[in-house]
Amino acid sequence: MGGESVSTASTTNGTTPYSVPAGVATKAQNIYFHEGNLSRDEREALMGHKGATIWMTGLSGSGKSTVAVAFEQVLHQRGIHAYRLDGDNVRFGLNKNLGFSAEDRAENIRRIGEVAKLFADAGMVVITSFISPYKADRDAARELHKAAGLAFYEVHVNCPLEEAEKRDPKGLYKKARAGQIKGFTGIDDPFEAPEQAEIDLRTDQLSVEQAVQVMLDKLEEGGILSAAGSQV
């Protein structure tokens, strides 16, 4: 009746949402994964499509949230169960105790990676829009999904710094240039651009509608969606 070890548990489709990649330590000891009676395949059959995480990364002002909002709406219109996790929004609740140090940024992304994995395991398409500037943190989120057998699409919302700073929708670049914000990505903290993202969106060249279509095409190509709607 007992569950399997958190690092070795498996389901009918090969893994649990809590599979832990090799070398990842947890503080808790003597914990066991409690297996349920529903498989991922059964949840996806109910949803009518596969679950996946769409991980949008890019500079502040690159258009992540704008494209994510539009993409979520289009998926909803097509009958796809989707949910958007926004970088600012989660800091009002789940991550309200985190700042913007390198350590806090890493923990911010670690938590979102775990939450996104749960959404995807439930059969939803989760859209995350986070600057997520460090490659190691994004790679860790990818590995979480890989270990759980879940689809993960990294989307580089690719906008030149000059254009993002020109847009400056929140006035943050202006504050960073004035020294009012320290450790601001692109100004005095690095953005490590993805080298092999599944999707590259040049938002200085594409309209929002065009960017959404690029993402839809990629999910159709990957079997997450079908051209007519959804697919299991």
pLDDT tens digits for range 43-66 = 888 888 999 999 999 999 999 999
pLDDT higher than 60, residue 16: no
Q: Give residue 8's pLDDT band: very low, low, confident or very high (50, 70, 90).
A: very low
Instruction: Tell me whether strands 199-202 and 151-158 are parallel, antiparallel or unpaired.
Output: parallel
19 domain-assigned: no
101 domain-assigned: yes
**Residues 60, 129, 132, 230: which is the catalytic one?**
129
Spatial CB neighbours of 1, under 8 Å, sequence gap ≥ 6: none
pLDDT higher than 80, residue 6: no
Contact 198, 214 (CB under 8 A): no
pLDDT higher than 80, residue 12: no
Q: Per-residue pLDDT averaged across 163-175, rounded?
A: 93
pLDDT tens digits for range 64-116 = 999 999 999 999 999 999 999 998 899 999 999 999 888 999 999 999 999 99
pLDDT of residue 15: 52
13 domain-assigned: no
pLDDT higher than 70, residue 231: no
54 domain-assigned: yes
How many beta carbons lie within 10 A of that of residue 3, not counting itself? 14
Contact 57, 186 (CB under 8 A): no
pLDDT tens digits for range 116-127 = 999 999 999 999
2 domain-assigned: no
- Reading the block at residue 121, the tokens are 């395991």
4 domain-assigned: no
Residue 226 is a catalytic residue = no
15 domain-assigned: no
Q: Give the percent of the chain with pLDDT over 70.
A: 86
pLDDT tens digits for range 183-194 = 899 999 999 999
Query: What are the CA-CA distances from residue 68 to residues 27, 56, 129 (Å)?
Result: 34, 8, 7
Question: Rounded CA gap, 192 and 195, in Å?
Answer: 9
pLDDT of residue 102: 86
Query: What are the CA-CA distances from residue 230 to residues 13, 82, 150, 154 (Å)?
Result: 20, 12, 17, 20
- Reading the block at residue 194, the tokens are 């993805």
pLDDT of residue 232: 36
Print the domain residue range for 78: 40-230
- 44: CATH: 3.40.50.300
pLDDT higher than 90, residue 34: no
Mean pLDDT of the chain: 87
Q: Give residue 2's pLDDT band: very low, low, confident or very high (50, 70, 90).
A: very low
pTM for the whole structure: 0.84
169 domain-assigned: yes
**42-53 burial code (b ≥16 CB/10 A, e <16):** ebbeebebbbbb
The structural domain count of the chain equals: 1
Q: Backbone phi, then psi, for 43, in 5-degree steps?
A: -65, -40
Tokens 């219109």 belong to residue: 77
